[in-house]
Amino acid sequence: MSNHLPTPAVEPISCQPWCREGDGHPGARAREAQWCFGVEHRVHLSTEPAELLSDGSTGQPYLNTHLLRQANDTGPRVFIGYGGTSGKSATLEEARRFALEILTRVDGLEG
């Protein structure tokens, strides 16, 4: 009987320094399934009513963001989402511009 480990379906990738896994994602069956995900950051929306969750509990709605990069992407992206279920990924430059637009609104510099 052999103790050989099964070979991965695809060659492991070099993970981003911020990747939560950091192992090259050797268990992925295709290159498109190899994703680096950073730590999620949440901002709870205090003026929104609590939402009923699938387990029957309630939770405060939130906005969330994290870094991500698919194996064949040319660079990392920033995920901007709502409640972890919907959102979009933006290039670093797009995310920077969006953050500046938010800061401009918060600081009251433009209407």
User: Which DSSP string corresponds to 10-76?
Assistant: SPPP---TT-SS-S--TT-SSGGG-EEE---EEEE-TTSPPEE-TTS-EE--EEEEEEEEETT-SS-
Residue 29 lies in a domain: no
Residue 52 lies in a domain: yes
The number of distinct structural domains making up the chain is 1
Identify the bridge partners of residue 58 per DSSP, sorted by sequence position: 52
Q: Percentage of the chain surpassing pLDDT 90?
A: 64
Residue 80 lies in a domain: yes
Residue 57 lies in a domain: yes
Residue 56 lies in a domain: yes
Residue 19 lies in a domain: no
Residue-wise burial string across 3-31, b where 16 or more C-beta atoms lie within 10 A, e elsewhere? eeeeeeebeebebbeebeeeebbbebeee
pTM here is 0.79
Provide the pLDDT for residue 8.
Answer: 46
- The larger pLDDT score, comparing residue 57 to residue 111, is at 57
Domain extent, residue 79, equals 39-107
Confidence of residue 66 (pLDDT cuts 50, 70, 90): very high
